[in-house]
Structure 1
Amino acid sequence: MPWPTSNAPPNNQPSDLGPAGERLAARFLQKQGYRILERSHRQRLGEIDLIALDGQTIVFVEVKTRSSSLGADPSEAVDLRKQTKLTRAALVYLKKRNLLETPARFDVVSIVWPHPTRGQPRLRHFPNAFEATGRGQMFS
């Protein structure tokens, strides 16, 4: 999905690409009707890029942004190890807020942004990209 270049980060540095991709993903999800609850949620077990509400479902979103489409899709970086880490962080989030009975899922947003100062990013959204993995699989 093409986006205006005004969304571009200030320069083409990798450190700018990740946060810019997360902002782009949040705007995309809002346009799809999601309500963004938190961005860059950090805790002892790691970071969850976006936490959103889709209807009555809490959605934990992992955003992967790359500058090149060569090789694998950025979403493929969300391997079993990353899925397990996200599952644990999501469970802590739900438990601390007494939301363990609330439906939840994991989405992945993949962005290929060849040249952020000039190019158009390509965004792909994968709802329910993976099931909870590891111990404590309490998601519905």
Structure 2
Amino acid sequence: MKETPSAGKWGEELAVSFLSEKGYIIDERNWHSGRDGEIDIIARDGPIIVFIEVKTRFSEKYGQPVQAVGISKQRQIGRLAKKYLYLKNLYGKADCRFDVVSIKFTGGKKLMEHIEDAFRINPR
């Protein structure tokens, strides 16, 4: 299930609030480089740069939100993260991590899960 733009933006707002409460510093939102896609949130967890994908779902019909972050999406985020690090002159100088924030609304309840180090990217 493709999340609607309004659901995606709403989920990102919730994720930013949630991460800020956990002490993350939000550096970028909806960061993109040309037509290569975007990274929902780029934040710092202490000295670590964290690239965060947010998935919001209102139904389990098409699976759990985190299941929407498949291998092709992971590769896309990895390519964008590399560009970001190069542009900020941080490539090879900063530790980074890839997280997913999953937001699911079922039965009138909001279930939010933050998966730290959700996937790894081959540096090649």
SS of 1:30's equivalent in the other structure is helix
Match of 1:63 among 45, 54, 57: 54
**1:42 maps onto 2:42 in alignment:** no
Q: Secondary structure at the match of 2:118?
A: strand
1:111 corresponds to: 103
Amino acid at match of 2:13: R
User: Following the alignment from structure 1 to structure 2, what is the Cα–Cα distance between the partners of residues 129 and 62?
Assistant: 10
What amino acid does structure 2 have at the position aligned with 1:88? R
Of 65, 76, 94, which residue of structure 2 is paired with 1:85?
76
TM-score by length of 2: 0.90
Q: Deviations 1:31-74 (Å, cap 9, x if unpaired)? A: 11100001111212210000000000000000000111345211
Distance 2:106 2:29 in 1: 24
Q: Post-superposition shift, 1:14? A: 2.7
1:69-99 Cα deviation digits (max 9, x unpaired): 3452110111110000000000000000101
- What amino acid maps onto 1:14 in structure 2? T
User: RCO higher in 1 or 2 (8 Å CA, sep ≥ 6)?
Assistant: 1
Q: Secondary structure at the match of 1:110?
A: strand
What is the total number of aligned residue pairs between the two structures? 120
Where does the alignment leave 5 or more consecutive residues of structure 1 unmatched?
Answer: 1-12
Give the whole-Å Cα distance in 2 for the aligned partners of 1:76 and 1:94: 26
Whole-angstrom distance in 2 between the partners of 1:53 and 1:94: 13
Q: How far does the alpha carbon of each residue in 1:86-113 deviate from its partner, in whole angstroms, 9 at most, with x for none?
A: 0000000000010111000100000112
Q: What is residue 124 of structure 1 aligned with on the other side? A: 113
Q: Does 1:73 align with 2:64?
A: yes
Structure 2 letter corresponding to 1:103: D
2: CA distance between counterparts of 1:126 and 1:33? 16
Q: CA deviation at 1:126?
A: 0.3
**Residues in 1 aligned to 2:94 and 2:78: alpha-carbon distance in whole angstroms:** 15
1:15 Cα shift? 2.7
Tell me which structure has the larger Cα radius of gyration: 1
